[in-house]
Structure 1
């Protein structure tokens, strides 16, 4: 099955290429401009994919507050353009969205049917992208919301923590934002499943379990020391979000309910975040050994 992935350098696009092999064509910014309808059509016409996975997004959450037009161009208009092209050409589209479409005030896991109420520009542009998708091709698209994505590739919270824990005498990490981490390779498997099986609908995908950024950081340090990625532990202190102000609001609680996903995605199932973190750190250690 010929699948085009929009995105090349990001964590998810990288993992999709690893998982999909020769069936995957990853198109980066130099290859395709999803904000330009004509250029988008010319490129996809030349490939004629059976499915498209949109793994591209404007993800600079704080920067989006001062660059709303740039965020909307990719997260909203780009998605609308892709959806329109896929509708005309009868192509199945898998689109990845975010927990930031919710306000974070619910206090229990968000279901796929819960009302979206984004709190910032990034979340609003992603929510508008969701609406464009669902208004255009609701029966031939899969919308997958995810959160807290990390991998051995690219920049992410886990790799940032490892670097800071190696360099700093102590760290402070926010303890009042609650969610579920997501290993990008697992998310990639879910996207591929949806594309290959043309699984239409709205679904949530994260790793299993719930944690705070603070507890996630503690687990990173504990496992990294155990595996020899860090020499020793440093003090990691919890702080409230109020002590670390950012231009964009973060949802305080953004756990995503995966009941429908577990029922529908029969051959791929989420694993617990701690097991996934351990696997990622093993992979990172292996990569580092191979480059030494």
Structure 2
């Protein structure tokens, strides 16, 4: 196994919420990091990808680059495919050539999303049935990466991400709570809020163990968006009753949102790792973290 200090890392999408959290964690560990945002590396350009990996010589490549605008992808699936599917393919090919371990970040949107009473978490080997352009292109990216570099690719599916950088639902609720605002939040969509700090730590674990295959990198437990918002209000000292429950049928969006985004985590045993911790404990630490919520102050 390699320690993060002994490992050279290349992170794509390094200016995003997860990318920034991961780069901060790697810098804390003393690792050598090449952090590339979209301006520095266009993952849709195979020559640029090949040159970047050749120049940096990374042991581990983490692909945080993605088109995550779910509604925009519905009207421009071709662009989403170039970033979410072709990008991972180029990175995997370059990784296979250079011997780099690829950690590719994927999504719960590869699944159908069921109904609010679905009740059974999706295991890693469940049949994906994406209902959105975003989900289809992310699934294509998973398959491309695993096909091009099967002995050196780990796919980490995550969802409901929040962190200290960029925009997220939790960040918005922190701001609303601080302003004493009411919030109407859907109560018929369930998932697993996942802190970028926890996911960044798990990415380091994956690199140390050289895990390959598909893993569900979400916090354990489950909650609705309404329940999550109430917990944010409670933890920040605001009145949870200011969060009012609504039905998702009141919201009309181009891309359908999953009612059930709860994933199971049996795959981690394969890598000798435990699942991520429960979402409540992680949220409490994230909200009390000394880094603060700079994006929302």
Residue of structure 2 in register with 1:180 after alignment: 192
Of 43, 46, 51, which residue of structure 1 is paired with 2:52?
43
Distance 1:234 1:107 in 2: 26
Task: Render the CA deviation track for 1:40-73: whole Å, top value 9, x for unaligned.
Answer: 1112211111111111111011111112122111
Of 247, 250, 258, which residue of structure 2 is paired with 1:251?
258
> Displaced runs of 4+ in structure 1, greater than 3 A?
165-169, 286-289
Q: What are the within-5 Å matches in structure 2 for residues 82-93 of structure 1?
A: 82-93=91-102
Of 270, 277, 280, which residue of structure 1 is paired with 2:283?
277
Matched, 1:150 2:162: yes
- 2:54–2:98 contact (8 Å) kept in structure 1: no
Decide whether aligned partners of structure 1 residues 199 and 213 sit closer, same or farther in structure 2, where only a CA change above 3 A counts. same
Residue of structure 1 in register with 2:23 after alignment: 17
Q: What are the within-5 Å matches in structure 2 for residues 55-94 of structure 1?
A: 55-94=64-103
TM superposition score normalised by structure 1: 0.91
User: Cα distance, 1:238 vs. partner?
Assistant: 0.8
Matched, 1:194 2:198: no
Decide whether aligned partners of structure 1 residues 163 and 234 sit closer, same or farther in structure 2, where only a CA change above 3 A counts. farther
Matched, 1:26 2:31: no
User: Cα distance, 1:103 vs. partner?
Assistant: 0.2
Decide whether aligned partners of structure 1 residues 288 and 250 sit closer, same or farther in structure 2, where only a CA change above 3 A counts. closer
User: Cα distance, 1:169 vs. partner?
Assistant: 4.3
Distance 1:65 1:155 in 2: 21
Which ranges of structure 1 fall in alignment gaps of 5 or more residues?
A: none
- 1:53–1:95 contact (8 Å) kept in structure 2: yes
Residue of structure 1 in register with 2:134 after alignment: 122
User: Cα distance, 1:196 vs. partner?
Assistant: 2.8
Decide whether aligned partners of structure 1 residues 210 and 233 sit closer, same or farther in structure 2, where only a CA change above 3 A counts. closer
RMSD (CA atoms): 1.9
Residue of structure 2 in register with 1:112 after alignment: 124
Task: Render the CA deviation track for 1:105-161: whole Å, top value 9, x for unaligned.
Answer: 253111110000001011111011011112211221101101100011111011111
SS in 2 for 1:287: coil
How many residues get paired?
283
Decide whether aligned partners of structure 1 residues 199 and 282 sit closer, same or farther in structure 2, where only a CA change above 3 A counts. same
Matched, 1:287 2:292: yes
Decide whether aligned partners of structure 1 residues 137 and 210 sit closer, same or farther in structure 2, where only a CA change above 3 A counts. same
TM superposition score normalised by structure 2: 0.90
Residue of structure 2 in register with 1:97 after alignment: 106
- 2:13–2:65 contact (8 Å) kept in structure 1: yes
Distance 1:263 1:170 in 2: 44
